[in-house]
Amino acid sequence: MLDRKAFMGYFSAMGMAGTLFPGVLWARMQEAREVTKEILADAEKVAGLEFSDEEREMMLRGLNSNLEAYAAIREVPIPNSVVPAVIFEPSLPWHEVPTLETPLRMTREQVERPRDLEQVAFWPVTKLSALIRTGQVTSVELTEMYLGRLREHGPRLEAVITLTDDLAMRQARRADADFRAGRYRGPLHGIPWGAKDLLAARSYKTTWGAEPYVDQVLEEDATVVRRLEDAGAVLVAKLTLGALAMGDYWFGGRTRNPWDLEQGSSGSSAGSAAATTAGLVGFAIGSETLGSIVSPSTRTGASGLRPTFGRVSRAGAMALSWTMDKLGPLCRSAEDCALVLDAIHGRDGVDPTARTVPFNWDAEQDLSDLRIGYFKSAFEEERDNKAFDDATVDVFRRLGVDLIPVELPDSYPLGALRVILSAEASAAFDELTRSGRDELLTRQTAGSWPNSFRTARMIPAVEYLQANRVRTMVMGAMDAAMEGIDVFLTPSYGGGPNNGVLLMTNLTGHPAVVVPNGFTEGGTPVSTSFIGKLWGDAEALRVAKAFQDATDFNRRTPPLFAV
């Protein structure tokens, strides 16, 4: 836990100017600007309002005073790492947050080292860990193997921004020395991993996938990076993300789907998903604000976890939406996701939203201990890939699970609540917009960030707050819908317009596990999702593991990257 001095020092390391310069009065600016009644009349249309001429006259003094206030605020350097003084809390007042903590119980794999070590490239962490734990493989050997695959296949996938060779070999040698000395750190000890390049790693560039930041170096490790190092994991690469966490286009190209190089990998955790599925890393860390773990996991066949909002500190990660951003693992199995989450969750004294809530992983928990539902109307929708989702339900019925029908609230304008993300993202990159450097971004379409940031400047503050009040109502309705349910199955993009379940659960902060549940005729993966109650990440992962134990979709590998 950090004290006040360390807390402020962290923001300094993340780019905060040492001195906050006083605001310059608007009157001193060379070119004075003033709101007139005519301007106000036009502006009312943007806000969907209409005032009388008399009302406009009374408003002018306050509006022009606001312009002076805006000018003063804009004189204060505000790095991306500085959080607002308004904090989102996913747990409603009547929620009981779990307090009981139990030991980690993972699957104990019986493994034998293959003659060609590269054959383990697609093994899950549970098996890689067994190789390390039994002394059959050293971390240096694993690290060299994955670095070799990153060099060979990374350019084809367009999935790597920076190889962290020197750091990786130092960490691997340290992991091996610790192991020889009897200091085994747990299931991630010696396992190579990749970081989405919105996570700061000391002395390496953190580009956010975007042209304006290609040379940015943040001299502090993100909390997740530090915690994984403490767990003995080895950082081998910083992986691609769609520029400023949108899509799969980054400043160097477009990250590809390992199953079909003509397709993008989707995003924005593009490189994290693609590199994991292609066997270039043991696991990866990505982030989700509105689909950035679910979407690339679906496209590439990775197993992804979007944790409960607040489980994982975002300190040292690029901020896009302070009330919606989540960091989570992309792996080759649901249990791998559990092992990674066990290492990275909890309060750190920097991210004010991060909480320490027990994460109790038990790989052998009986499914009969859990109340498992399914999003009935979403499964009944006519859509592409319905047959795969129906087959998923059948798997659980064969496992003896009596699925409970669940219906999510559908009376709220979920699509309209996207203004929350738009407003926060525009604030996070306000300086980029006002400086004109947004023109450096490769993507300049109506739906890409530069235009979205500009458009969001026209969202009234009142409407932003009203949207958040509706969000509270959605949270209450979601809570009621999940009463008596621990986990429910859903098509990853089910729930009607706006991909209702995906948008709703990102707004409410519920955890989601997304795993492959089939392959199309073209040979590309499709997915299903498991939604847990708040802080019910372990239960959602356990149900996903049961599905993966009964199927083989997550064990298939893309032929283009086979050993």
Determine the pLDDT at residue 391: 98
**Is residue 92 assigned to a domain?**
no
DSSP 8-class letter at 284? E
Is 368 one of the catalytic residues? no
In a domain, 37, yes or no: no
Q: State phi, psi for 384 to the nearest 5 degrees.
A: -65, 145
Terminal-to-terminal C-alpha distance of the chain:
44
Which of these is catalytic: 91, 139, 196, 269?
196
Q: Is 287 a catalytic residue?
A: no
- Asked if the structure places residue 43 within a domain, the reply is no
What CA dihedral angle connects 312, 314, 446 and 256, to 10 degrees? -70
Q: State the catalytic residue, choosing from 81, 139, 265, 268.
A: 268
Position 17 scores a pLDDT of 38
CATH number of the domain at 490, please. Answer: 3.90.1300.10
pLDDT at residue number 499:
82
The closest of 482, 550, 484 to 511, measured between CA atoms, is: 482
Active-site hit among 292, 297, 426, 527: 292
**Please, what are the averages of pLDDT over each run of 10 residues along the chain (563 residues)?**
56 50 32 78 91 94 91 93 95 93 96 98 98 98 98 98 98 98 98 99 98 97 98 98 98 98 98 98 98 98 98 98 98 98 98 98 97 97 94 98 96 95 97 96 93 94 96 97 97 87 98 98 98 98 98 98 95
376 catalytic residue (yes or no): no
pLDDT digits (tens, 9 = 90+) for 29-81: 334 368 999 999 998 998 899 999 999 999 999 999 999 989 999 999 999 99
Q: Within a domain: residue 447? A: no
The continuous run of DSSP H or E covering 299 comes out as helix 294-300
The confidence score (pLDDT) of residue 498 equals 74
Q: Has residue 68 been placed in a domain?
A: no
Residue 28 lies in a domain: no
At residue 160, the 3 state secondary structure works out as strand
Question: Quick one: tokens of 290?
Answer: 């509105």
DSSP labels for 27-90? GGSSS-----HHHHHHHHHHHT----HHHHHHHHHHHHHHHHHHHHHHTS---TTPPPS-----
pTM for the full predicted model: 0.94
Q: Where are the beta strands (DSSP E) in 88-149?
A: none
Assigned token pair, 489: 């199955």
In angstroms, the CA 49 to CA 43 distance is 9
Beta bridge partners of 304: 330, 514
Token couple for 54: 């008399």
Classified as helix, coil or strand, 326 is strand
Vertex 441, ends 440 and 446: CA angle to 5°?
A: 120
Residue 376 has which token pair?
């009935």
Domain count, the chain: 1
Q: Tell me whether residue 187 is in a domain.
A: yes
Domain that holds residue 147: 117-412+467-557
Query: pLDDT by residue (tens digit) across 269-303?
Result: 999 999 999 999 999 999 999 999 999 999 999 99
Residue 301 inside a domain? The answer is yes
d(CA 417, CA 420): 6
